[in-house]
DNA sequence: GTCTATACGGCGATAGAC
DNA sequence: GTCTATCGCCGTATAGAC
């Protein structure tokens, strides 16, 4: 149709990248509510009109931020998933802990709770990540037991990603009661951190749990 | 000092209670972002100025809503804790599932992430609830095992309240992958039969699981 | 393709009139 | 106890300069 004369900045623009950096910073420092056209503009040293030129609406800002973050995140996950299969639970646990404390995800989740466009984007990213994790975890995980119940790979995965996220949520408001107890128990289950793999050499890892 | 001429409505006012009902409704239906003086006023059929008269700021609205909700919540919890000790894990699980799906708590948590006054109020309420739960749960829970690790009462409690909350968070954005698997596993554990430890009495519990 | 000036209505908040 | 006027931000839209 193009009855409107409004245009939009290119996705490859360097300025655009800088603006997204500012958005992330604002979200981490002051929360998503602090992300306004004027605030982003001030942080980047440009006019708010320019911010609007690249992201026409606030939703546009958040969607762009989520997409860029997700891409980075999935690259990072793919690397982590290169680990040996018997290391995957521990590796995914560490990955989840990192991601939970980075807090950007949490911020996006909270934001998605009432912005439909954000909600959909986050949901898709979450499912995508979960599928990658599950596909990697499933073949190597059998016989896990949880409180005397057999634990499916999916259930184990939810514990691995859910516990850090929940604990982080509580820590965000200053609640820490019993957190260490749960983390210790879970990490003892995951077993000792593996000695940094001596490459192809000695063949066998000295894993001796249970 | 009272240099200002501003005054505030009585806490016992019936109007005030009605307004808080509207606030809760708005939060459940459209999220905390929908709570504005004008929206609350419209829902209650009064002017926004009157809403401001009772709660001078938005923070005031949220704090009042949290306090009223917490009071109800703790009364409810106290009732639930009347259950026999060996039923407590199951009872607390059901309680947590209810509370998580009611979503008001989740809404408050999200809200507290960047409103300091709300954050403090939520933290205090959370700690208060946790202490009640822990005091009730501790004496009756020994020998719980979690993935081959001993599980302290505190750690078990965090699983009981954390799993529903995390799952609910994901469900809120439409993610459900593997949820049933984890819930089934946990509920089978809580099971129709008592958790461990038959007190000193008949020596053996009739535990036939596993 | 990049960037700016300007205008609009809605918001939280305050002071003060009735 | 109830309500108005006013202020300074906000998101958004438009028109147009370089």
The string of pLDDT tens digits covering residues A76-115 is: 999 999 999 889 999 999 999 999 998 899 899 989 988 8
* Nearest CB to A154 within list B110, B114, B177: B177
Cβ neighbours for A27, distance < 8 A, ≥ 6 positions apart: A34, A35, A65, A104, A107
Q: CA B72 to CA A73: how far, in whole Å?
A: 41
| Residue A66 and residue A95 in one domain | yes
| Residue A124 and residue A173 in one domain | yes
Summarize pLDDT for B99-129 with one digit per residue, the tens. 999 889 989 998 998 889 999 999 999 999 9
The per-residue pLDDT for B10 is 87
| Residue B194 and residue B98 in one domain | yes
Q: Smallest CA–CA separation between A102 and chain B, in Å? A: 14
Q: How many CB atoms lie within 10 A of CB A118?
A: 23
* Nearest CB to A185 within list B31, B151, B157: B151
Among A54-58, A111-115, A201-205, the range with the most confident prediction by mean pLDDT is A54-58
| Residue B73 and residue B98 in one domain | yes
| Residue B50 and residue B78 in one domain | no
The per-residue pLDDT for A190 is 85
| Residue B148 and residue B88 in one domain | yes
The domain spanning residue B34 has which CATH number?
A: 1.10.10.60
At which of A32, A56, A80 does a domain end? A56
**Number of independent structural domains in chain A:** 2
The per-residue pLDDT for A150 is 78
Domain hosting A38: range is 1-56
Reply yes or no on whether the pLDDT at A198 is more than 90: no
Task: Say if residues A205 and A194 touch (Cβ distance below 8 Å).
Answer: yes
Summarize pLDDT for B117-172 with one digit per residue, the tens. 999 999 999 999 999 999 999 986 566 766 666 789 999 999 999 999 999 999 99
Cβ < 7 Å from strand D, A residues 55-114:
56-59
Task: Say if residues A89 and A192 touch (Cβ distance below 8 Å).
Answer: no
Task: Say if residues B174 and A123 touch (Cβ distance below 8 Å).
Answer: yes
Q: CA A149 to CA A151: how far, in whole Å?
A: 6
A49 touches strand C (CB under 7 A): yes
| Residue A83 and residue A20 in one domain | no
At which of B12, B29, B56 does a domain end? B56
pLDDT bracket for residue A197 (50, 70, 90): low
Mean pLDDT of A6-10: 85
| Residue A45 and residue A69 in one domain | no
| Residue B21 and residue B82 in one domain | no
The per-residue pLDDT for B18 is 95
At which of A56, A73, A98 does a domain end? A56
Residue B12 sits at the vertex; the CA angle it makes with B9 and B16, to the nearest 5 degrees, is: 55
Q: Do B178 and A155 touch (CB under 8 A)?
A: yes
| Residue A98 and residue A171 in one domain | yes
The per-residue pLDDT for B143 is 66
| Residue B2 and residue B63 in one domain | no
| Residue A76 and residue A174 in one domain | yes
C1’ D4 / CA B53, Å? 13
Instruction: Taking each helix axis as running N to C, give the angle between helix B88-102 and helix B153-172, from 0 to 180 degrees, rounded to the nearest 10.
Output: 30
Cβ neighbours for B143, distance < 8 A, ≥ 6 positions apart: B150, B196, B197
Residue B138's region, left for phi above 0, alpha for psi from -120 to 50, else beta, is alpha
Reply yes or no on whether the pLDDT at B201 is more than 60: no
The per-residue pLDDT for A113 is 84
Q: What is the mean pLDDT of chain A?
A: 88
Closest CA in chain B for residue A190: B147
């Amino acid at each position: 149709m193009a009855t409107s004369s409004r245009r939009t900045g290119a996705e490859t623009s360097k300025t655009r990248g800088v603006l997204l950096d500012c958005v992330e910073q604002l979200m981490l420092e002051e929360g998503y509510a602090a992300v306004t056209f004027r605030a982003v503009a001030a942080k980047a040293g440009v006019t708010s009109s320019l911010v609007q030129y690249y992201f026409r609406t606030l939703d546009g800002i958040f969607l762009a931020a989520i997409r860029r973050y997700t891409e980075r995140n999935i690259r990072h996950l793919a690397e982590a998933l290169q680990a040996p299969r018997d290391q995957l639970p521990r590796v995914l646990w560490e990955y989840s802990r990192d991601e939970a404390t980075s807090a950007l995800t949490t911020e996006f989740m909270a934001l998605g709770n009432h912005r439909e466009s954000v909600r959909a984007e986050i949901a898709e990213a979450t499912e995508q990540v979960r599928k990658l994790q599950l596909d990697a975890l499933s073949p190597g995980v059998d016989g896990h037991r949880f409180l005397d119940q057999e634990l499916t790979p999916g259930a184990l995965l939810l514990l691995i990603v859910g516990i850090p996220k929940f604990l982080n949520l509580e820590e965000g408001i200053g609640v820490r009661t019993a957190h260490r107890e749960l983390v210790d128990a879970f990490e003892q289950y995951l077993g000792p951190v593996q000695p940094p793999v001596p490459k192809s050499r000695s063949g066998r890892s000295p894993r001796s749990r249970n």
